[in-house]
């Protein structure tokens, strides 16, 4: 009788097990990386949509205010005679300040140019916009200031009382600890936050300083170098918007989106908060002002 040699049972070798574990670990790391990248991209897309929505609101708000600057119910040269003196002086429908206004909003006794504390090193500015308006209507928002109060009616004989709005826009730190766009008006001593995440606000004022009466811009100035506010007929503004909350951008990891160019053309990197930042530009023609003239037009 022959004896059949039994086959020795054997499993996988230690080397095979290590190779299998290594392959599994590599696959896990790869899939985890894909998941994290997908999450980062989703957050970035969400942040982009949020700052675009916020920027659209700020652009529309400031552009609408600028288009209303200098409005008057009187058309033509008669307006210059009626509204060029006293409490309703609108020959200069706006003023800017590279720094901060040093005087409170005042309309009684005449709309004089507000005081300005110039800060050449600042990257943000203030602007004051003035316009006559209509009787207040809470349903439509007509006749109200930027803080939601009714525009006070002013006048001086023989002129009838006319509601007038004086709105100031500027940046300040809000209750959230972030930079926000604020407004203050002649209808109230209170300030009102309008938009969060606005970190820089810069204005350039276009005017025709040649006096040739042409409807063209001969120069653009920051507020501190405007030759004559009566000749300003166009405003270009830029602001930097930051996404809300902490983001996922990292300049240290080479994330290209972490770099951005601000309103003054300086390339910057996002702070340690990792928030997405972008600069937005808009140019607005002052509809109620004739280019190069001190005579406003409806």
62-89 pLDDT, tens digit per residue, is 999 999 888 876 655 545 555 555 555 5
Find out whether 141 and 67 touch, Cβ atoms under 8 Å: no
Q: Is 70 left (phi over 0), alpha (psi -120 to 50) or beta?
A: left
What gap in Å lies between CA 198 and CA 54, rounded to an integer?
9
With a CB cutoff of 8 Å and minimum separation 6, the contacts of 62 are 169, 237, 282, 284
Find out whether 270 and 276 touch, Cβ atoms under 8 Å: yes
Q: Which of 98-107, 219-228, 281-290 has the lowest mean pLDDT?
A: 98-107
Output the pTM of the full model. Answer: 0.76
| Alpha carbon separation from 225 to 89, 213, 237 (Å, rounded) | 22, 21, 16
Residue 90 pLDDT: 65
Find out whether 168 and 102 touch, Cβ atoms under 8 Å: no
Q: At residue 184, does pLDDT exceed 80?
A: yes
Find out whether 171 and 183 touch, Cβ atoms under 8 Å: no
Residue 25 pLDDT: 83
- The total number of residues written for the chain in this structure: 298
With a CB cutoff of 8 Å and minimum separation 6, the contacts of 4 are none
What gap in Å lies between CA 289 and CA 298, rounded to an integer?
7
Of 220, 206, 202, 219, the C-alpha closest to 263 is 202
Cβ neighbour number for residue 34 with a 10 Å cutoff: 10
Q: At residue 187, does pLDDT exceed 80?
A: no
């Amino acid at each position: 009788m022959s004896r059949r040699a039994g086959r020795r049972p054997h499993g996988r070798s230690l080397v095979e097990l290590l190779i299998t574990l290594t392959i599994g670990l590599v696959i896990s790391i790869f899939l985890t990386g894909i998941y994290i990248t997908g999450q980062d991209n989703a957050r970035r897309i969400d942040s982009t949509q949020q700052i675009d929505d916020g920027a659209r609101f700020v652009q529309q708000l400031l552009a609408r205010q600028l288009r209303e600057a200098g409005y008057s119910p009187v058309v033509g040269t008669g307006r210059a005679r009626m509204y060029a003196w006293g409490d309703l002086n609108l020959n200069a429908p706006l003023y800017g300040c590279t720094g901060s206004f040093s005087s409170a909003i005042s309309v009684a006794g005449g709309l004089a140019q507000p005081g300005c504390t110039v800060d050449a090193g600042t990257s943000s500015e203030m602007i004051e916009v003035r316009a006559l308006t209509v009787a207040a209507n809470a349903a439509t928002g007509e006749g109200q200031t930027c803080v939601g109060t009714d525009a006070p009616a002013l006048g001086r004989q023989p002129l009838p009382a006319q509601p007038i709005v004086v709105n100031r826009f500027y940046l300040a730190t809000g209750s959230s600890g972030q930079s926000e766009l604020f407004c203050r008006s002649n209808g109230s001593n209170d300030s009102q936050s309008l938009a969060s995440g606005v970190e820089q606000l810069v204005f350039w004022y276009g005017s025709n300083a040649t006096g040739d009466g042409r409807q063209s811009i001969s120069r653009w100035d920051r507020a501190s170098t405007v030759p004559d506010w009566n000749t300003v007929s166009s405003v270009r503004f830029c602001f930097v918007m930051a996404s809300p909350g902490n983001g996922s951008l990292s300049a240290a990891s080479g994330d290209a989106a972490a770099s951005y160019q601000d309103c003054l053309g300086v390339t910057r990197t996002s702070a340690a908060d990792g928030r997405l930042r972008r600069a937005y530009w808009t140019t607005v023609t002052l509809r109620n002002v004739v280019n190069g003239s001190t005579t406003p037009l409806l």
